[in-house]
Amino acid sequence: MPEQRVRQFLMSAPQTATSTEPLSFNVMEGYLPAQFAPDVTADRELYWQVIDRTTGETLPTTAWALKEAPALPMKSRAEKVGAYPEDAASAVVTIHRPEPFHVYTADFLAKQVWDSTQIYNYLTNDWADDPTRLKDRTYDVAYPETWDHVRQSLGRWLEKHPEVDVVRFTTFFYHFTLAFDDNALEKYVDWFGYSAAVSIPALEEFAAEYGYRMTPEDFVDSGHYNTPLRVPTAKFKTWIDFTARRVAAQAAELVKITHDSGREAIMFLGDNWIGTEPYGPYFPSIGLDAVVGSVGSAATCRMISDIPGVKYTEGRFLPYFFPDVFNPEGDPVGEAVTSWTQARRAIVRKPLDRIGYGGYLSLAMQFPAFIDQVEAIAREFRSIHNRSEGELPANARPVVAILNSWGKLRTWQTYMVAHALWYKQIYSYLGVIECLAGLPLDVRFISFEDVTASDGAILDEVDVLINAGARDTAFSGGREWDDTRLQTLIRAFVGSGGGFIGVGGPTARTTNEGTIFALEDVLGLDMEVSWTLSHTRHFEANEEPHFITADLVGSLDTGEDPGDIVATGADVQLLELREGSVKLAVNQYGEGRAVYLAGLPYSAQNARLLYRACLWAANAQDELDAVLITDNPEVEVAWYPSAKHAFVYNNADSTQRAGIKGLDRIFTTNPTRAAIPSDASASSVLQVELPAYGSRWLDLQDPV
């Protein structure tokens, strides 16, 4: 059975040869010795790859030797780890005759000898000090014996636990990529990574099915491990599809066993969720009743609540009932309120069906004010379900689609590295989906492939495309834009009246030929990478007020600098210019409109700005208040046309006054126009005042 452990492809630390003398190195150098053991028995031709990174060439296996070695010692913090698993080991590669001053690496197949989530718990919660803890080991359901064991165990467990109504799978078979280092610190984390979801049987099955092989380097990707920020190769996308199909088939069997015994089956979104792909084609076939996940923001809330093919969704809110918050100095009430307020924007638009908390109940019980607060949150949550009468609030007309390499598969999952964590390089783009998660817009996620495969037909359903991300990444598209058809289809879309919003480095790829923005003509802008400094620029900011910035108070926050952006179009209007670089611009392109934003960290102001940008890009600026809107970006309003209710909520930590606009429009074509509240002004602006984070339901059939 130890041979049936889950595998993971790893790359050794790069080694520079200094002579032609044999170059030996331990491939486990820098890795947590307790986490992996190199699979030295695996066929070196297929599952190992020693690469001269200076030339890019793979060395023939005759050019190097492999020797198993004992597990390396820890550099520090060995006490956090405790005794190594018994099959921990290392291995030494020796390149017989390297080229001097070339850099070499070894890609190798490693056995996961210790479960990643448990390692995290050991390191975080000092489990090594607890002698009752045993190190969890991983086994792969790709092996028939393991698979039989898993099914039988589940059956036995269900039999033994008739009191269980709902089985929560946490999760299925493969952990997201997570590796620790020899100081027992996190070394690599990719919440979407497939590197830890490999096995020899699966690799062989893939080769048999497709007629070609996934090589170690297909996973290692010169040390990038196919992070979602890399433009994915066709081969890697095929591997995802293959794995997701396999995972869905096996998960469906476990769900069936659960159902057959009369229980519900729900899945936790995280940890060993790789291959489940909740927005992929195979997920509904798993047959889960529900998904539960941790809510870290509006976007992560929508990531759960929008999952198709399940009966209900559940969000687990912050704070966890852990001593780090639930202590005399902590502020569990404050954390509960801000966490709820963040998520509320998303819940209003697409409600979770259930909300919950996690941790030690005994801890929470010691904070009665917290219990009261949660009761208030639950009341507000229920009101959204009750007052809406199951109706979703009205969206403005424009359909907005996020366009990137991943499309629907990564719905509400874009830009993220580790779940909901802040990174300097992503927050300016993550803000885009965080804003959208709470806006009255129909938001979709489409891929470049969707566009080209449908010959642009998919764009018929879309009013505004958003292409947001850093240059040369999967989210801006990078080299995907070398596809001439993609370029022309998007140009045709905008040229014939579509909207295009570019954020950061939209359509930007580093190409030696031509512009950096593939759609430089659409945006009327380009990125200056020091190659066009000789072009004397005379552009100036447009001082006139613009629809998009009409609600902006103070200065525009575009977050990190995506690089210098210069105006190239004859008619592009620059709404914000800083140190010679464009931060916000608009451009008419044929019948359509383009908007550029250097970045969009989440804030109430930026959510409003993006909403206005979407309306403007869709040439729908007259519909600004068509589904109600406030005159204060901190206060949002959701309008339920059938129920004739409006929900107004204050996202700020202070009392806010806001006027609700659009009441006259809502009732214009409606006999109940007289129902506009009597305290609405002549222009039908209804003033409300809400305490910090407060909300209020308005019944617009009768004066409030």
Q: Are 277 and 181 in contact (CB under 8 A)?
A: no
Q: Please choose, from the candidates 127, 118, 104, the residue with its C-alpha nearest in 3D space to the C-alpha of residue 24.
A: 104
Site size toward its own copies (CB under 8 A) is: 69
Q: Smallest distance from the beta carbon of 187 to its own copies, in angstroms?
A: 6
Spell out, one character per residue from 51 to 80, where the chain touches its own copies: x when CB under 8 A holds, - when not: --xxxx------------------------
Using the rule CB under 8 A, is 103 a contact of its own copies?
yes
**Rounded to whole angstroms, how far apart are CA atoms 585 and 619?**
16
Q: Is 80 helix (H, G, I), strand (E, B) or coil?
A: helix
Using the rule CB under 8 A, is 224 a contact of its own copies?
yes
Task: Give the other-Cβ count within 10 Å of 104's Cβ.
Answer: 22
Identified catalytic residue from 271, 463, 551, 557: 271
Using the rule CB under 8 A, is 450 a contact of its own copies?
no
Options 270, 590, 641, 694; binder of its own copies; rule CB under 8 A: 590
* Two tokens, residue 394: 């009205």
For the question of residue 679 being annotated catalytic, the response is no
Distance of CA 582 to the CA centre of its chain: 27
Distance in Å from the first CA to the final CA of the chain: 69
Q: Which 517-536 residues touch its own copies, going by CB under 8 A?
A: 520-521, 528-536
Using the rule CB under 8 A, is 454 a contact of its own copies?
no
Using the rule CB under 8 A, is 512 a contact of its own copies?
yes
**Rounded to whole angstroms, how far apart are CA atoms 175 and 196?**
6
Options 59, 69, 99, 397; binder of its own copies; rule CB under 8 A: 99
Distance of CA 303 to the CA centre of its chain: 8
Strand residues in 55-123 grouped as ranges (E):
57-58, 64-69, 90-95, 103-112
For its own copies, which stretch binds (CB under 8 A), given 77-85, 236-244, 470-478, 543-551? 470-478
Phi, psi of 280 (to 5 degrees): -90, 175
Task: Return the bridge partners of 594, or none.
Answer: 500, 587
Options 2, 18, 24, 372; binder of its own copies; rule CB under 8 A: 18
Using the rule CB under 8 A, is 187 a contact of its own copies?
yes
Q: Smallest distance from the beta carbon of 55 to its own copies, in angstroms?
A: 5
Using the rule CB under 8 A, is 497 a contact of its own copies?
no
Options 330, 334, 359, 495; binder of its own copies; rule CB under 8 A: 495
Using the rule CB under 8 A, is 188 a contact of its own copies?
yes
Q: Smallest distance from the beta carbon of 489 to its own copies, in angstroms?
A: 8
Strand residues in 378-492 grouped as ranges (E):
399-404, 442-447, 464-469
- Residue corresponding to tokens 């081969």: 235
Task: Give the other-Cβ count within 10 Å of 694's Cβ.
Answer: 17
Using the rule CB under 8 A, is 607 a contact of its own copies?
no
Q: Are 215 and 108 in contact (CB under 8 A)?
A: no
Task: Give the other-Cβ count within 10 Å of 389's Cβ.
Answer: 11
Using the rule CB under 8 A, is 579 a contact of its own copies?
yes
Options 136, 186, 253, 449; binder of its own copies; rule CB under 8 A: 186
* Two tokens, residue 457: 């037909």
Q: Smallest distance from the beta carbon of 215 to its own copies, in angstroms?
A: 14
Q: Smallest distance from the beta carbon of 428 to its own copies, in angstroms?
A: 11
Using the rule CB under 8 A, is 487 a contact of its own copies?
yes
**Rounded to whole angstroms, how far apart are CA atoms 44 and 61?**
7
Which whole-number Å values give the CA distances from 355 to 223, 299, 386, in the listed order? Answer: 39, 16, 15
Q: Which residues of this protein are in contact with its own copies, per CB under 8 A?
A: 14, 16, 18, 53-56, 99-103, 177, 181, 183, 185-190, 193, 222-225, 227, 229-230, 417-418, 423-426, 470-473, 479, 484, 487-489, 491-492, 495, 510, 512-515, 520-521, 528-536, 538, 561, 564, 579-580, 590
Task: Give catalytic residue positions.
Answer: 271
